[in-house]
Chains A and B, each alone.
Chain A
């Protein structure tokens, strides 16, 4: 908490950027607690405002009605010394009924008007024509992320630029699904929107703070729904440009990885995975062309460390039981060779 508040100071901001320059492993700052009441992006901010209104109204009702209930329960309880006579029999009151019909109606009118305004403001918000366009496709149990205008395909981590007051950089996201229904939810960025097969949904983000923001698939989608996690990495404009350039750069051939590359291309890895510049062109699994630029493996199931990468290659089920990548029964040598090769994909 303290460090996040610290980022608001310009010095901390510069320090964070400086850290980033030293190595991509320490990207700005991670926000692991996705509190919907701490929005850091335009649509989430608008939702936050109406949420506070609804929360205040509901709290007020709770205090008043709950208080009356508590008062009635205490005040009108029968006491040991009471006589056995019945209390006055009251059957109703037209005035009271009218009053407690009118009050809920007024509350509902206020909430409805506020809801209609915010709903339309978010759903019909005009985005500038140069807004970044991203296509996100849900798969069991990972996210395919494509930047059609930039020719980039990646997975599970959405990089977007940060917006400033004088320079809006919103991102329009087109949501699709390759199999079942998923839901894109990064609470500090925006409300959730479902990814539904044979349908395209739209949502948008306009973050105003850099960092990594965590989210989850929010619609139950099968065995590994729990480990279908999602990250939005909000970069400064310069960072973002650098990230784009790195994703688009021609792959570097490393002689040390030649053996692993051959093993990879000769096993059925290629049926599901794509690696740019090779014959691996599968589309069922995530694109691995820049695997090392990602923070996690298997949609957030494990940190992207050399050790986890090898564990994953040996038997994916030890990290994500039930996932669709089979145990390829690789020998320890093959695991080491392929891991060495994958580690060159940056």
Chain B
């Protein structure tokens, strides 16, 4: 970009490459970009591990009465898969995207607290490794159990000393508690950075939607992680000091844990899906060649989703025997979330309408996201109908629903984000051809796996069963679901190959390969450690549009 003033000469390549120096640079860095990349790579590493676990689960369920895995191992696998996918894959990749992009998008040189940022990453990584370490260490001297086997929401009293001997549950508590510290660090950091470090001219209503949405996400993290941490500490007290908060045999309450967990757990779903919205809100306009439709409404809808999501948690508990009044309240509040979510979907549609849509890989993932998230939202509405939920809750329908949210919604946009910002991070474009293979294989495999599971749930198949009898109508759906896994795995293989190949041989990207409009594209690819030579000044939501179209700048119409 000739118009960009911040280009810097590449650092002199005179020093020979030395592995210790290179490693030392990464380990001691406080640069938001390097930390962002490390968050994402760590998240992708955990993704491969817990994705493999999911594949084992699907192999066990491919036919009725399969003997592939014993029940104990199966229960550990789904617990580790769920826990890791939420806390060690979703959260860090989101933290990585926020870390990498927020300072670049608001024209800042780094996050507000670079060293807190580094601390957050390393404490998260430690917590993540601790979870897997349980496979080795949890049996302890007593030899009871190994990895956690209580499910990712760890309902009491199954987690009490009486039913969970050994230390597997302690590892679950501690690793999540510790990696949660990392999430809190990055959330606080994002809030302070966005509030205090925007460049000149960037009012709140001129921030890219990505920044707005992750700001809401960061607030949600700060509000809802503490209840989880509190509950986990109470559970630790129960397990080690006999505190009996959740010990039903001594007057404790099993339902109390559920309230604590879901006060965290439901907003957590929005913490995970909102960054997906954030990515889509950047990619869809650029590849439709139009500004986001209804920016102010999108901001309002995001804030509304954030607020409402704090009051819907007990829709995970429609079956615990709440009064009809409570059920009615939570059914209503849950359906209300559908309104701002619907508004968002319509605004993305409005953005594409009348555009010139370029179907590069990032956009392919975002279009699939729109369709799949539509499905996920609609099955979510069905689950909000409390009586319908009495049938569907804890069945495979729910499994299908939330995988449509978290894979069809979040993971697809994460892939889109990686294809979109990879050239900024590495200076090289990812291969479009490998990207298409990745997209089509993964989209096919994902839908093949999870669409049939809706039907298995409707036919009465509960989740978390390690085997099932023949003749209950579940065979064909489970068979198809497992076949889908092969396609997903193949897609991921193409993705990994693409990452490795493109980071060395990809075509040179230049500063602004997508002809985009936000500030991160105004600096070099990769950006220098200080991001911008001179801090930019903006006059509209699309500063680069203004630069490229001086006769028709956005600030005239906004």
Chain A residues close to B by CB (< 8 Å): 32-37, 44, 46-47, 50-51, 54-55, 57-58, 61-62, 65-66, 68-69, 72-73, 76-78, 82, 86-93, 96-97, 100-101, 103-105, 107-108, 111-112, 114-116, 118-120, 122-124, 140, 175, 179-181, 183, 185, 187, 190-194, 196-199, 201-202, 214-227, 300, 321-322
Contacts and interface: CB of A to CB of B under 8 A. Distances in A.
A93 B395 contact: no
Interface stretch (B86-94, B187-195, B331-339): B331-339
A303 to B, nearest CB: 10
B386 A115 contact: yes
Nearest to B460: A34
Contacts of A123: 323-324, 327
A222 B163 contact: yes
A198 B34 CA distance: 51
Q: Which of A50, A118, A191 has the most CB of B within 10 A?
A: A191
15 contacts: A34-B472, A50-B385, A51-B385, A51-B387, A69-B370, A78-B357, A87-B289, A96-B350, A104-B343, A115-B385, A116-B331, A219-B155, A220-B394, A225-B466, A321-B70
Contacts of A224: 71
B409 interface: no
Contact of A65 (B155, B345, B466, B552): B345
Contacts of B347: 97
A51 B339 contact: no
A33 B474 CA distance: 8
B355 interface: yes
Interface in B340-399: 342-343, 345-347, 349-350, 352-359, 367, 370-371, 374-375, 378-379, 381-382, 384-395
B462 A217 contact: yes
Contacts of B463: 220
A201 B327 CA distance: 14
Interface in B529-558: 549, 552, 554, 557-558
A100 B151 contact: no
A86 to B, nearest CB: 5
Contact of B320 (A89, A185, A190, A201): A201
Contact of B331 (A112, A175, A219): A112
Main secondary structure of the interface of A (DSSP, over half): mixed
B301 to A, nearest CB: 9
A111 B335 contact: yes
A98 to B, nearest CB: 10
- Range, interface on chain B: 35 or more
Contact of A100 (B295, B342, B356): B342
Given A100-B342, A197-B249, A198-B248, A226 B460 contact: no
A225 B391 contact: no
Nearest to A185: B462
A197 B472 contact: no
Contacts of A103: 342
Contact of B255 (A76, A180, A199): A199
Given A62-B378, A221-B158, A191 B394 contact: no
A119 B328 contact: yes
A97 B462 contact: no
Contacts of A96: 294, 346, 350
B46 to A, nearest CB: 23
A120 B374 contact: no
Interface string B146-176: 0001010001011000110000000000000
B127 to A, nearest CB: 24
Nearest to B388: A51
B338 A50 contact: no
B294 A51 contact: no
A61 B376 CA distance: 12
A196 B320 contact: yes
The 8 residue pairs across chains A and B that have the minimum distance between CB atoms: A191-B390, A34-B460, A226-B465, A201-B321, A197-B248, A33-B473, A92-B294, A78-B356
A92 B297 contact: yes
B319 A54 contact: no
B193 to A, nearest CB: 27
Given A90-B354, A92-B294, A218-B462, A193 B319 contact: yes
B255 A196 contact: yes
B296 to A, nearest CB: 7
B362 to A, nearest CB: 15
B390 A47 contact: yes
A223 B71 CA distance: 6
Nearest to B317: A194
Contact of B395 (A90, A107, A120, A218): A218
Contacts of B327: 119, 123
B391 A191 contact: yes
B464 interface: yes
A73 B331 CA distance: 34
A280 B421 CA distance: 71
Nearest to A224: B71
Contact of A194 (B163, B321, B391): B321
A136 B289 CA distance: 62
Contacts of B339: 101, 104-105, 108
Contacts of B289: 78, 86-87
Interface string B514-528: 000000000000000
A219 B392 CA distance: 12
Nearest to A322: B71
Contacts of B469: 300
Nearest to B151: A220
B390 A54 contact: no
A215 B462 CA distance: 9
B321 A202 contact: yes
A226 B549 CA distance: 63
